[in-house]
Structure formats: structure tokens, C-alpha cells
Amino acid sequence: MRKWVVVFAFVAVAETLSWAGPHSFPSSSSTVVGSVGIIDGEKIGYFWSVARGDSVESVLADSLPEVSHAIFDFAVPENLLDLGVVVIWDVSVNSQVVGDFEVHDTFQGPLHLDLTFDPIANVAGLYTVRFAVTNEVTGGEGSHALAYGGLWPHSVELIYDYVPPDSPIPAPAALCLSGLGAALIGYLRCRRVL
């Protein structure tokens, strides 16, 4: 009986949740605009200038027709920013800004972003994911790098799990499955008692 309840619950939830797996980002195939570009086998950069268009961009093939959630795991392996200096980044999917983050002067290590946003459709089965610097660090006040390889994290997971904000009534399919599950449980209980 518990197996049936779990199956019905999974089917009801699976209809609103889709995940295609992680993508490498940044990666060796990313388009990088920075003072150097690819620094070595692990790092890209150096980033500090909105005027130059400092950014990291990848075009990812993904089977999801649309996404509403992105989980980024990446790292700052080298930080040369002077005290009190910060680099501010926008995060976008298909040219729509979905979040931001900051790299402060003393930070070095892994970063985790868990962003939820209104659904964004793919373009011919592709998603363009981009980090772009949005401020200008004064010349001589430093820069930082991002990891694209080695042991540092560098991935993004694109997920569709959108629930409309004004949706007090569950989807019809979920109600139907819940009703079928309840009927099955009632039938099995009656059968056991008789």
C-alpha cells in the first residue's frame, strides 16, 4: 500500500518539476572577456571592468522547454582586489537578468547561487547563461579570477519547477491523481477488513 502512495505522490509532483542535469559553467568553451581571458588550466579573468564588458558566457544545450530555477556552484580561486573594493556581477539566462552576486576584497573560495525566477523559454533548444560585471574598479585597485576547471566547482543546474504565485487551486491532474490514490487506499483498507 505504501508503494502506491509513493508512486501517486511522485507522479503528482513530477508534472511540475523537470531537471536536465548539471552543465559545466564557466567552462573551457565559455566566451570570456577580461584583462587576460584564460589564465591557466583552472582560472579565467581578470575581471574588474564594466566598460570593457568583462563577462563569462556559455551557450548550453538543454532539453527543458523552459527554466525557472538555476543553481550555480563556482569559485573565486584568486582575488587581487584592494581593501574595500568590490566587483558586482549580474547573472542572466537568455539575456534576462535573474540575479546578482558580489566578490569582495577578501573573498576567495567557492560560491553558491540558488536563483528562482519567472519561466524563461529556450531558444532552439539552447540557453545562454552569462555572468557580467556591472561596475568599474578604479585602475590599480585590483581584480579577481573565476574558476573554469581543476578541482574548483564550476557548474549550473537548470530546472523547471515554477509554481504560479496566485495558484490556490492545485492542477487538475494532481487532484485527479490524489483522488485515485485516496480511492485505492480506501479500497485496499476495505479489502483487508472484509
Q: Residues in the chain, how many? A: 194
Is 116 found in the same domain as 192? no
Note the pLDDT of residue 21.
73
In tens digits, the chain (194 residues) has pLDDT values of 454 444 444 444 444 456 667 999 999 999 999 999 999 999 999 999 999 999 999 999 998 999 999 999 999 999 999 999 999 999 999 999 999 999 999 999 999 999 999 999 999 999 999 999 999 999 999 999 999 999 999 999 999 987 776 655 556 666 666 777 777 777 666 766 54
Note the pLDDT of residue 15.
44
Domain limits for position 181 = 1-16+167-194
Distance CA 156, CA 112 (A): 10
Note the pLDDT of residue 181.
74
As for how many domains the chain has, the answer is 2
Q: Helix, strand or coil for residue 147?
A: strand
Note the pLDDT of residue 188.
67
Is 45 found in the same domain as 22? yes
Q: Can the peptide bond before residue 110 be classed as cis, meaning omega within 30 degrees of 0?
A: no
Q: What is the CATH number of the domain that holds 104?
A: 2.60.120.260
Q: What are 12's three cell numbers?
A: 503528482
Is 29 found in the same domain as 92? yes
**pTM score of the predicted model:** 0.76
Is 5 found in the same domain as 61? no
| Amino acid (one-letter) located at 117 | F
CB 145 within 8 A of CB 107: no
Is 179 found in the same domain as 112? no
Note the pLDDT of residue 185.
74
Q: How would you label 108-134 residue by residue, b for 16+ Cβ within 10 Å and e otherwise? A: eeebebebebeebebeeeebbbbbbbe
Nearest to 143 by CA among 45, 39, 44: 45
- Residue 83, Cα to own-chain centre: how many angstroms? 30
Note the pLDDT of residue 35.
96
Distance CA 180, CA 8 (A): 8
